[in-house]
Amino acid sequence: MISIIIPSWNGRHLLEKSIPALVDQIDGKGKIIVVDNGSDDGTVEWLKSVWPEVRCLMLPSNKGFSGAVNEGITASESNDVILVNNDTEALPGWFDALRIAAGTHPDFHIFASRVLLADSREHIDTVGDGFTVAGFGYKHGWLEVDGPRYDQPSEVFAASGCAVYIRRNVFRTIGLFDEHFFAFGEDLDFCFRARLAGFRVMYIPDARILHAVRATSIPSNTLFWYHRNLQWTLMKNLPVALWLLYGPHILLHIGFVAVRSVSGRWFKVYVRSLSAALKGLPVMLARRKEIQAHRKVKLGDIMSFIDWNWPMIHWNLHQARLRYDRDKA
């Protein structure tokens, strides 16, 4: 039995589409757990009346993605779990693709889905996530047209928490998601910690799922959480030797984002995110000490999955956005 955990906050309208798509697939092999973050839209009452077979955990307040999935993971009794956003719709075969991949690839421990945009399903949201020497994560295939070049399973640095299969042993070894993060970037932090502990991540192309990106988020909050949490991810996880090696790139990228924030009129949000990151430094350093003490992989193993040419990655992402906007016009 596999536990499928869905965090939700005022997302009844989203669950009305996501839950039926899951129920149609699991066929007794999975158990759905919705963790409700103190919603006031009738989510809990609706679940009890329409989907009594779905377990609902009711939180008194909004604990964000990290807090909600942690509650679900702790409450679940299965060997493995799948985390899935409430703003997704699993396409036929998604659940079995992840389940079969976990059974046929024992050397891998986290499995990423092929995530497509819900409003333009021929375009990709992510096919596994990457990481750069400049200290930022990015989505492989973001806004590109889906096609055969994404049809092969491959090892990736990280998996999006939007739709990911995780073996229970990973949680037993490195712990749960960091609840200080609240939302955005906690999946990158989790996968970084997992890699340091010797776990591996695989992209599964047959696990197709649609994602209504940021259907429940506020843009200014998203920017704040993302950039604060990115700094915390580096503070906790990047080994000292790699700080020395990548430090100039990280500083250049901070300056690059600052310039972009000025032109995009969110400079105050960016400064606030960096300030909040610094305020959290003592907590993150304490966690860093434990994480680095239990690191099992060599530096070379980490470096082999970190991309050097971060300016080109930014350029490619920018071009993908332009092509996508042109296609949608």
Whether 237 is in a domain gets the answer yes
Q: Helix, strand or coil for residue 80?
A: strand
pLDDT at site 252: 97
Whether 186 is in a domain gets the answer yes
With a cut of 60, say whether residue 72 has pLDDT above it: yes
pLDDT-derived band at 136, boundaries 50, 70, 90: very high
Whether 42 is in a domain gets the answer no
Number of structural domains (the chain) is 1
Torsion of CA 34, 129, 174, 32, to 10 degrees: 20
Q: Helix, strand or coil for residue 126?
A: strand
pTM for the complete prediction?
0.96
pLDDT at site 220: 63
Whether 39 is in a domain gets the answer no
Residue ranges making up the domain that contains 228: 87-329
Whether 23 is in a domain gets the answer no
- Tokens 């955005």 — which residue? 184
Whether 121 is in a domain gets the answer yes
DSSP 5: E
- Provide the 10 A C-beta neighbour count for residue 300: 7
With a cut of 60, say whether residue 22 has pLDDT above it: yes
Whether 27 is in a domain gets the answer no
Whether 66 is in a domain gets the answer no
pLDDT-derived band at 327, boundaries 50, 70, 90: confident
pLDDT-derived band at 142, boundaries 50, 70, 90: very high
